[in-house]
Amino acid sequence: MDPQWDDLKIFLAVAREESLSGAGRILKLDPATVGRRVARLEEAVDTPLFVKSPQGYALSAAGERLLEHGEQVEQAMRAATESLAGTSEGLSGQIRIGAPDGCANFLLPQVCARISEQNPDLDIQIVALPRVVNLTRREADLAIAVSAPTAGRLLVQKITDYKLHLVGSRRYLRRSPSIETLEDLKGRPMIGYIPDMIFDAELDYLSDLGVTRVALASNSVSVQLRLVNTGAGLCMAHDFALPTNKRLRQVLTEQISLTRSFYLVRHQGDQRSERLNRIATQLVDGLRAEVEKLEAPT
């Protein structure tokens, strides 16, 4: 018996969540039903698709092969649904965008608000994660990354470059000895990421400055900036975050300046979806314009 689409949907959910309970939450089915459907599919294809253990459900070699075909069917079904619905001026349905903390806090709200205004039937969800978004598990439909992934069946598009500079609060800079050279940074309290929670080397800003101790740390950019605003020390900050943190001032701008990039990442097969293509275009154009506006000298 050939697998049916309903069976493949359950298979994909278990493969992504690696558990019956996780798949059940997504599918709105109880775990026992999910387990029976998986067993029925394995019986139909006459091979184990998962390796069961106390840690969960891991794909077997046959499951890995079926995953690729299952995702192709999923993408084809999505494209067929969109085609039957027809195209219209506005976008509709739900879209989930995963992004690192800085982008999610200081760029996406404005960009997504404008997209929502232009497409009132579109539901937009922003997932801010202090790690790489897992597209394979469908944590998001589109992901924004600070490094271009090199593995997996992914479509990667560079969005834009952005700048970072060393900043301190006006209060801190008034009360501390002046900072004129790199030598003046010695002994200054630094604020940054928790070292062992840096999920991408592109975010390891302070190591570029030779900083070996982070006095105050957080895995959240917003928390780091709140710490700097209290006058607790200095940190590397996105230029696009400064318009909403008006008490912060850049220091040593000529000596310390970093450039990083944002990339849009999605499943390669999703490029067949006219809807996702349109959303991706609006998102990329919006982010480019927002970074340019917020980084512009005032």
Look at residue 189 and tell me whether its pLDDT is greater than 70. yes
Q: What is the mean pLDDT of residues 116-132?
A: 87
Q: How confident is the model at residue 154 (pLDDT cuts 50, 70, 90)?
A: confident
- What is the CATH topology of the domain spanning 93-158+261-295? D-Maltodextrin-Binding Protein; domain 2 (3.40.190)
Q: Which of 277, 42, 264 is nearest to 145 (CA)?
A: 264
Structurally, at CATH architecture level, domain 161-260 sits in: 3-Layer(aba) Sandwich (3.40)
Matching fold, domains 5-85 and 93-158+261-295: no
Per-residue pLDDT tens digits for 63-116:
888 887 887 777 677 666 655 554 555 677 889 999 999 999 999 999 999 999
Cβ atoms of 111 and 118 within 8 Å: the answer is no
Q: What is the mean pLDDT of residues 197-214?
A: 86
Per-residue pLDDT tens digits for 137-153:
667 889 999 998 877 77
Structurally, at CATH architecture level, domain 5-85 sits in: Orthogonal Bundle (1.10)
CA 279, CA 127: separation in Å to the nearest integer?
Answer: 16
Q: Which of 221, 231, 15 is nearest to 100 (CA)?
A: 221
Residue 134: predicted pLDDT? 67
Burial of 250: CB neighbours in 10 Å, binned 0-12, 13-18, 19+: middle
Residue 90: predicted pLDDT? 65
Domain boundaries, the chain: 5-85, 93-158+261-295, 161-260
The SS3 call for residue 237 is strand
Largest CA distance in the chain: 77
